[in-house]
Amino acid sequence: MKQQIQAFIAEIQKNKHSKIIWITFIAFSLAPIFGGVFMFLMKDDGLEGLSGAFKAKATLMSFEANWDSYLGLLSQAVGVGGVLIFGFVASWLFGREYSDGTAKDLLSLPISRTKILNAKFIYYLIWCFALVISNLLLGLIIGFSLGLKGLDNELFIKHLTIYLITTVMIVLLNTPIAFFAISGKGYLAPLGIVAIALVLAQIIGALGFGNYFPWAVPGIYAGSGGADLKSQLSILSYILLIITSMIGYFSTIFWWKYSDQVK
C-alpha cells in the first residue's frame, strides 16, 4: 500500500506543470457554457428563440428553459463529450510515457509495474471526477445566473444521479483506451480509437443497436437519444460495458507486465 501511495504521489509530481490538465477543464466547460447559451436563447421565446439544428434537437428532446432541461443537457454532454475528453485524458496519461520516451525508466524499478499503472488509473479517475464536478458547479452558477426555474431537491437528486452514473460508465469505458496507449506506445493510437468509438456509437445508435455497444450506452443512459432509446437499455447493456472495462484494465496490466518493451 505504501508503494502504491508513493507511485500515486510520483504521478502527481509528473503532472504538476502539465498544461493539458487546464486544457481539458476549458474544453469540458464548453458544455455548460453552450448549454447556458441554449437556455438563454429559449428563455423568452421558447423554441422560437432557436434556429436550425439547435431548434430541431430542442424540439426532439422537448427542451424548455428550466432546470430540468439544463441539468439533463449537462448529463448528455458528459455522456457524449465525456467519451472524447476522458478518452483524451486516458490517452495522454498512459501514452505520454512513450511519447516522452520515459516509459523505459519505469520498467526496472523496485516497485511493481502494476502499481505504477494503478497509480495512473487512480490519477485518471480523480482527474475525470474533478472535470465533472467542476462542470456541475459551473452549470449551477450559470443556471442560477440565468434565473432558471423549477429546481427542487427531488429534481436535483434525480439529475445528479444520472450525471454521476453516466460519469462512472464513461470512466469505466476508457480502460481499453489505456490499453491502446500502452500497446500503441503513444497517444496517437488511442486518440484514433476514441474517434472511432465516438463515430461507431453514433452509427450503431442510429441503427438501433446502441444499447449493445458500450460506447453508446452512457449517452443513451443520459438521455441524448430520447426516452424511447433509454428504455431499451437492459442489464445486458451494463454487463457488456463492465466486461469491456474489465478486459481493458486487465489487458493493460498484462501488456505492461509481460510484453516486450522495446521503446
Partner 1 sequence: MNIIQTENLTKKFGDFKAVDNVSINVRIGEIYGFLGLNGAGKTTTIRLLLGMIKPNAGSISLFGQSTKQAAKIWNDVGYLVETPYSYPDLTVKENLEVFHRLRGLKDKKLIDNVIDKLQLSQYKDKKAKYLSLGNCQRLGLAKALIHKPKLLILDEPINGLDPAGIVEIREFLKDLVHNHNTTIFLSSHILSEISKVATRIGIVHEGKLVKEINTNELELQIIKKLCVKTSDNRKAIDLLADKKIIFNATGNDIIETTNIGVIQQPEIISEILANSRIPLKMLNVVEEDLETYFLRIINQ
* Positions that interact with partner 1 (CB under 8 A): 2-3, 6-7, 9-10, 13-14, 16-19, 100-102, 104-112, 116, 258, 260-262
Classify residue 66 by its DSSP letter.
B
Q: Is 260 helix (H, G, I), strand (E, B) or coil?
A: coil
Q: Which is nearer to partner 1, 115 or 230 (CB)?
A: 115
Q: Which is nearer to partner 1, 88 or 215 (CB)?
A: 88
Residues 165, 35: Cα–Cα separation, whole Å: 20
Nearest distance, CB of residue 88 and partner 1, angstroms = 18
Nearest distance, CB of residue 11 and partner 1, angstroms = 9
Q: Which is nearer to partner 1, 99 or 202 (CB)?
A: 99
Residues 182, 160: Cα–Cα separation, whole Å: 33
Nearest distance, CB of residue 109 and partner 1, angstroms = 5
Listing DSSP states for 100-160 in one string gives TT-GGGGSSSSS-HHHHHHHHHHHHHHHHHHHHHHHHHHHHHHHHHHT-B---HHHHHHHH
Nearest distance, CB of residue 116 and partner 1, angstroms = 8
Q: Which is nearer to partner 1, 3 or 202 (CB)?
A: 3
Residues 196, 22: Cα–Cα separation, whole Å: 25
Q: Which is nearer to partner 1, 11 or 64 (CB)?
A: 11
Nearest distance, CB of residue 30 and partner 1, angstroms = 25
Q: Which is nearer to partner 1, 106 or 146 (CB)?
A: 106
Asked if 146 and 36 count as a contact pair (C-beta separation under 8 A), the reply is yes
Residue with grid cell 426516452, as numbered in its chain: 227
Nearest distance, CB of residue 12 and partner 1, angstroms = 10
Residues 10, 199: Cα–Cα separation, whole Å: 35
Burial class (CB in 10 A: 0-12, 13-18, 19+), 103: buried
